Amino acid sequence: MTLLTLLLTCMITAGTPLMDVWKSGQDAWRWPLGPPAPQVVRTFSPPASPWGPGHRGVDLAGRPGQPVYAAGPGRIAYADRLAGRGVVAIDHGTLRTTYLPVRPSVGVGRRVTSGTRIGTLEDGRHCPAPCLHWGLLRGSLYLDPLHLVRSQIRLLPHWERPAPSHSEHAPEPAPEPRTALRDATTATGGALTGMALAFTLAFVWRRTRVRFRLHRRRRPPPGVINLSQERRLRRTP
């Protein structure tokens, strides 16, 4: 029972996305602000073209001076001011996360884990109220960073199964029973015996009928004189 409980626990843990929010491991993805989880004041809106308008990240509600943490393990790729705002970028292998406006507290090249403090939130003009702009890229492609911390549930459409047509899966005809060799021999012998008996009865019946007719011819009807027979009798000495 203990082993079964352990297996179920492992399956539930494996089924939970790696973007579970406040998981205690150092390799888990987490929100860059909090806990508690911050409010999303503006969602991701990718541009139709690399130079087109859009919102290349999400805006999280915060307050000036609030600590900003690394969303996942990686290496600091950029930590400086850019266009008058503090920017921090972290490489996570194939992914890269960006945070602004942030006053950096880490240097370029430093290895960080999930939850490492990388700076404090500044009072910028990106949102009407103080917020953290959090971005996610794979190469030059912008992605929605909320996918790192929110489980994605996709519902598939329900298709009704079509009714099976008469042409499909037509029942195969039952195989004809095969007569065994012994049964065939018995049937053949019975047929020959029956034919022989029929021929014998027909032959006997025909001979009997012929004899009956001859017998009737030899006996003339009453009152009739057979002249041929009378002549033969009178010629006899």
Q: Can you give the pTM of this predicted structure?
A: 0.54
Write the DSSP symbol of residue 103.
E
pLDDT at site 31: 96
- Provide the token pair at 192: 């020959």
Please, which residues have CB within 8 angstroms of residue 119's CB and are 6 or more apart in sequence?
A: 67, 68, 79, 86, 88, 99, 102, 103, 104, 105, 106
- Provide the token pair at 59: 């805006």
Please, which residues have CB within 8 angstroms of residue 133's CB and are 6 or more apart in sequence?
A: 57, 58, 59, 98, 99, 100, 101, 126, 127
Look over the chain and give the mean of its residue pLDDT values, rounded to a whole number. 77
Please state which of the ranges 21-25, 45-49, 108-112 shows the lowest mean pLDDT. 21-25
Q: Could you tell me where the DSSP H helices lie in the chain?
A: 2-15, 181-218, 227-235
Most confidently modeled range among 82-86, 89-93, 162-166: 89-93
188-208 confidence digits (pLDDT tens): 667 778 888 887 888 777 777
Q: Sorting pLDDT into bands at 50, 70 and 90, what band is 56?
A: confident
What number is the average pLDDT over the span 138-146?
Answer: 92
pLDDT at site 51: 74
pLDDT at site 12: 43
Q: Which residue has better confidence, 165 or 65? A: 65
pLDDT at site 205: 73
Q: Sorting pLDDT into bands at 50, 70 and 90, what band is 159?
A: low
pLDDT at site 234: 75
Q: Which residue has better confidence, 170 or 14? A: 170
What number is the average pLDDT over the span 135-140?
Answer: 92
pLDDT at site 178: 58
Asked if residues 96 and 89 have their Cβ atoms less than 8 Å apart, the reply is yes
